[in-house]
Amino acid sequence: MGGTEHGTEHGTEHGSEHGTPHGTEHGTAHGTEHLTVERVGATLVLTLNRPEAKNALSLSMLVGLYDGWIEADEDDGIRSVVLTGAGGAFCAGMDLKALAGKGMAGERYRDRLKADPDLHWKAMLRHHRPRKPVIAAVEGHCVAGGTEILQGTDIRVAGESATFGLFEVRRGLFPIGGSTVRLPRQIPRTHALEMLLTGRPYTAAEAERIGLIGHVVPDGTAREKALEIAERINACGPLAVEAVKASVYETAEMTETDGLAAELARGWPIFDTADAKEGASAFAEKRPPVYRRA
């Protein structure tokens, strides 16, 4: 879990079935000084908002992130989450001074961390997996702790000038945000080891080629593309979407036989839901489905 020059380094330089038009905000929910929370249709948008430090992680940002993940889990009106950054950057890693709660803003959140010493790992998606799909919209720096958070997301979009990398070994540090475990499971081991052991930066094109991200788009349009993907997800049956995501992760390390058994246990109940019947009826009647999580 690397950081910025504040602690370590920066590195180198459509409508839904709910009737809410794409891009229309329901309003702004809670947030913190460094984490903005918005509702765009059925999508919760969490924006890392500390552009003067390339959105380096601070205590207030981590508290805001954790609260955002819990809000998404508990609010059935939220069907997807987009995670992005303000000011042309995603996240340049951990600001160790800010994490220590130095200054008035950080001090306000010390009690939260004391009450839950695991909060920062949950915020970074190391010890928490949201049940709704999470789409990363990356612009600019996504390095060190930024690349570690990225590995906890489900779908990833990046602007063509985005930069990725795990720089920890260059400073004699360890990427303890989960990368030595997750990265070799998400991309080929040879690429994972090169990224982990060299600490070099990767372009968006390289990141797409090795499978770390799924889409490269023109700079400044990553959020737009992520919301487009989110809207497609939002139009699907929410019970089915959440069951599919859960099945993918829970069977990842199982044998094929055990995985197929777990898939049946997870998937068969979906066929008995009212939403499944609604999907079939809507198809037959040539109309958009109206899903009710039932």
The SS3 assignment for 163 reads strand
Q: 177-205 as b/e, with b when 16 or more CB fall inside 10 Å?
A: bbbeebbbeebeeebbeebbeebebbbbe
Catalytic residue among 9, 168, 208, 231: 168
Catalytic residue list contains 168? yes
Q: Give the C-alpha separation, 281 to 284, whole Å.
A: 5
- How many CB atoms sit inside 10 A of residue 281's CB? 12
- Six-digit token pair at 125? 């998606």
Q: Kindly give, in sequence order, each residue whose CB lies less than 8 Å from that of residue 90, ignoring residues fewer than 6 positions away.
A: 48, 55, 84, 136, 137, 138, 139, 140, 141, 142, 146, 150, 162
Catalytic residue list contains 194? no
Angle 263-267-270 from CA coordinates, rounded to 5° = 170
What pairs with residue 216 in β-bridges?
A: 158
Q: At what angle do helices 179-186 and 189-198 cross, to 10 degrees?
A: 140
Catalytic residue among 9, 148, 231, 242: 148
- Six-digit token pair at 83? 């995670």
Q: Give the C-alpha separation, 121 to 105, whole Å.
A: 20
The residues that are catalytic are 148, 168
